[in-house]
Chains A and B, each alone.
Chain A
Amino acid sequence: MAEYHPEHEHMEHDHMNIPKYLLIFGILVVGTMLTYFAATVDLDFIFPGANTLLALLIAFTKMACVMLFFMHVYWSPKLIWLSAIASFFWLAIMFAYTMQDYFTRGYGVFTG
């Protein structure tokens, strides 16, 4: 290889240390407790479904912590970033196209 640099041969793997792992772990534990207590408070006065939205926001934050730091995506090549983000993009397409079908066919036509 033309651009052969022995000192960069391995993927970098000294970004995380034990205090950093424990910090991420702490965030995940706090997030779990927050999820539980937020679910017991009725947030429907803001708008219907506010509880679910908050729960999902916390879940996405926790997922981001696990993916970026436990799964080392933060220091991974761009192609890994792309695969991770693309999977959620595809998931969003599946949700959006399924739901636009259900929401536009008229309720109750085929319910029992």
Chain B
Amino acid sequence: MSAHASDKFVYHEPGLQHQFDDMKQQEESVSIGMWMFLVQEIMFFGGLFTAYLVFRSRYPMAFAAGSNHLNAFWGGLNTLVLIVSSLTMALTVYYAQKSNRTMQVVMIVLTMIFGATFLGVKAIEYSDKYNDGLVPVTGLNKVVKEDPGAHHEAPKPCWEVEHGAAAAEHHVVNPRGEFLWTDCSLAKLAEKENFLTPTERIGYYSNGELDGNKFRDKVRIFYFIYFVMTGLHALHMIVGLGLMAWLLWTAYKGNYTAEYYMPVEMSGLYWHFVDIVWIFLFPLLYLLGRHFMH
């Protein structure tokens, strides 16, 4: 090769796409693109957090009552499961940077196992809600036909009913699969200690008396928000698992090395984002009224 020809030779990194000057520019452009996507995802979930904020500030006691009926053990377990999956995802990126194909594959498989565990726990929780008559849409709950020989107890006032809705525990009849909620004791507590909000004084009462049906409808708002937010989050988990499956295949083929691992890093950003959403959903949905429980 003559000296003149070598002047024209441009070293080309194996992972560099032709529209970028160098790897640094390529990596920055890819990161910015992914972050722009995540920013709009934050606004997307932000709309739901706004709905939560509006209705919780209007009906705090109904939200606390609904929240206390969620299973904080499952919610907490799922938080830990997601944090472990975030660790294994971060380690996937770490091993890609070290060009370690075997450990990349191991870490992606672990991430997928933890992601699937999260969805499994979610399925258990959703089926509990179905059995207890807590899905906020009529007809989507378990139908319990009336036993013709059953004796009817006189209905108690809603603030003396024990244990939330709990249709399954008490074999409450639910022939149309409706949203069931009979306990308004938290509203009674707030009335006694005088911290009902002005909206609650109107929203829970009929003719100056606590109205179980009106309280139930406010708890139903909580369950709507619960299902939409956790459902959208679960959808993101399913998309994430699809992403991981693709990553598993390409990492298995040995596509990612210290020279080129941006797809691993970007999938990691998405996975961590989904984890962050859950970090907020857990205390806001599962724990908000727990300090009233004793």
Among residues of B, the one whose C-beta sits closest to the C-beta of A61 is B279
Q: Does the CB pair B50–A95 fall under 8 Å?
A: yes
**In the complex, how many angstroms separate the beta carbon of B144 from the nearest chain A beta carbon?**
28
Interface of chain B, main secondary structure: helix
B23 lies within 8 A of A10 (CB): yes
Residue among B28, B276, B292 facing the most chain A CB atoms (10 A cut-off): B276
Could you tell me which residues of chain B, from 245 to 294, have a CB within 8 Å of some CB in chain A?
Answer: 258, 265, 268-269, 272-273, 275-276, 279-280, 282-284, 287-288, 290-294
A1, B43: Cβ atoms closer than 8 Å: no
Interface size on B, residues (CB 8 A): 65
Q: Are the C-beta atoms of B291 and A42 separated by less than 8 Å?
A: yes
- Residues on A with beta carbons closer than 8 Å to the beta carbon of B97: 13-14
**A32–B36 CB distance below 8 A:** no
- Asked if B50 and A51 sit within 8 Å, CB to CB, the answer is no
Would you call B110 an interface residue if the criterion is a C-beta within 8 Å of the partner chain's C-beta atoms?
A: no
Q: Which of B134-142, B160-168, B198-206, B236-244 sits within the interface? A: B198-206
Binding site for A on B (CB under 8 A): 13, 21-24, 27-28, 31-32, 35-36, 38-39, 42-43, 46-47, 49-50, 53-54, 57-58, 72, 76, 79-80, 83-84, 86-87, 89-91, 94, 97, 195, 197-199, 201-203, 214, 217, 258, 265, 268-269, 272-273, 275-276, 279-280, 282-284, 287-288, 290-294
Q: Are B198 and A87 in contact (CB under 8 A)?
A: no
User: What B residues does A13 contact at CB under 8 A?
Assistant: 97, 258
Q: Complex formed: what's the CA distance from A12 to B100 in Å?
A: 18
Q: Are A111 and B94 in contact (CB under 8 A)?
A: no
Known: A28-B83, A36-B72. A10 touches B27 (CB 8 A): yes
Does the CB pair A98–B287 fall under 8 Å? Answer: no
B282 to A35, Cβ gap below 8 A?
yes
Contact, CB under 8 Å: B86 / A70: yes
CB-based A-B contact count at 8 angstroms:
165
27 contacts between A and B (CB under 8 A): A1-B22, A13-B97, A16-B90, A25-B83, A25-B86, A32-B79, A51-B290, A52-B283, A55-B288, A62-B279, A63-B280, A66-B276, A70-B87, A70-B268, A70-B272, A71-B269, A83-B36, A83-B39, A84-B39, A91-B42, A94-B47, A95-B49, A102-B54, A107-B197, A108-B201, A111-B202, A112-B214
CB pair B83 A32 closer than 8 Å: yes
Assess whether A80 is in contact with B283, with CB atoms less than 8 Å apart: no
Known A-B contacts A32-B79, A32-B83; the reply to A66 vs B279 at CB < 8 A is: yes
Q: Which of A21-66 contact B (CB under 8 A)?
A: 21-22, 24-25, 28-29, 32, 35-36, 39-44, 48, 51-52, 55-56, 58-59, 62-63, 66
CB–CB A80/B46 < 8 A: no
The docked-state distance in angstroms from the alpha carbon of A10 to that of B14 is 13
Please count how many residues in chain A sit with their CB below 8 Å of the partner chain's CB atoms: 61
Q: Of the candidates B21, B91, B291, which one forms a contact with A21 in the assembled complex, judged by CB atoms under 8 Å apart?
A: B91
- Which residues of B are found within 8 Å of A43, using beta-carbon distances? 291
Would you call A86 and B279 a contact (CB within 8 A)?
no
Which of A4, A14, A107 interacts with B199 by CB under 8 Å? A107
Interchain CA distance A10-B22 in the complex, whole Å:
9
